[in-house]
Amino acid sequence: MAKAAGRIREYLRAVDVVLEVVDARIARSGRNPLLGKLAGKRRRVVALEREDLADPKTTRQWLSFFRDAGTEALAVDGRAARKVADVATAVTRSCAGGRGIARAMVVGIPNSGKSTLVNALLRRAAAKTEDRAGITRDLQWFRLSPNVELMDTPGVLPVKTPSEAARWKLAICGAVPSNRYDPQEVTAAFYGWLLARSPRTQVPDLQAYAARRGFVRRGGEVDYHNAARSYIRAFNEGVFGRISLESPDDAEAA
């Protein structure tokens, strides 16, 4: 992470615009403060990716939050051509006014949807994508338009996660490699959070989910570990509905 941040800092000297890709479900925890500091006063565009998995009302609140702060923000699903085109237009517009070739850098934490968005912007599989953290490892330049070049960068997590709540949120959204957290603890934290906000939720807890999906070993023992991993996948596939884990006015996410 430190090495990647150093290389991003070096290349930013030649960059005109920063496109920050943020998972719309964790629009605060899913941002690395270091990337903001590295960007400095450069023009910025924030793309709230995976809007199809986030609560629409909460996403609208985040869009207003960023715009009130003077940052252009768009909600996007990398599979929706029209919304991807809106991002391309925003980046190109932000790059306008200079001479020669303008450069934009794509930044974000691991598995935020960066490479998926880059591929959608370029309309080809130029950047590696996979549903786990840490796939993009190299800095890559691509041509977005005749006058704009786009660089994809490795995802960079904060050196220190600010809170326990942020840790499980990053984990359940796929920003943390699966071998670095206990899936049962993460699912328990998520369900406790959900229950506190929606006591009548129809989302099952891990025990009910495991029974429903048949995660039972010989002798009737429930396989909670693999059930928890499946539960997290189901969350990220939208099986439980569109859920945002934080909003701009959440005190706990400050």
Domains of the chain in start order, with CATH, are: 2-152 (3.40.50.300), 164-236 (1.10.1580.10)
pLDDT (tens, 9 = 90+) of the chain, 254 residues, equals 566 667 777 777 778 889 999 999 999 999 887 777 777 778 889 999 999 999 999 999 999 999 999 999 999 998 888 899 999 899 988 887 666 788 888 988 888 988 889 888 888 655 554 444 444 445 678 888 888 888 888 777 765 667 889 999 999 999 998 999 999 999 999 999 999 999 999 999 999 999 999 998 878 899 999 999 999 999 999 999 999 999 999 865 43
Sign of CA dihedral 113, 117, 119, 120: positive
Spell out the residues 6+ positions from residue 128 whose beta carbon is closer than 8 angstroms to its own: 115, 135, 136
Question: What are the DSSP calls for 205-229, one per residue?
Answer: -HHHHHHHHT-B-TTS-B-HHHHHH
DSSP 115: H
Given a contact cutoff of 8 angstroms between Cβ atoms, the answer to whether 103 and 115 are in contact is: no
Angle at the Cα of 88 (from 143 to 64), degrees rounded to 5?
145
Tell me the residue type at 127: A
Label the pairing between strands 102-107 and 148-152.
parallel
Q: What size, in residues, is the chain?
A: 254
Place of tokens 């591929």: 119
What does the longest C-alpha to C-alpha distance in the chain come to? 71
Q: Which two tokens stand for residue 137?
A: 């490892």
pTM of the model: 0.86
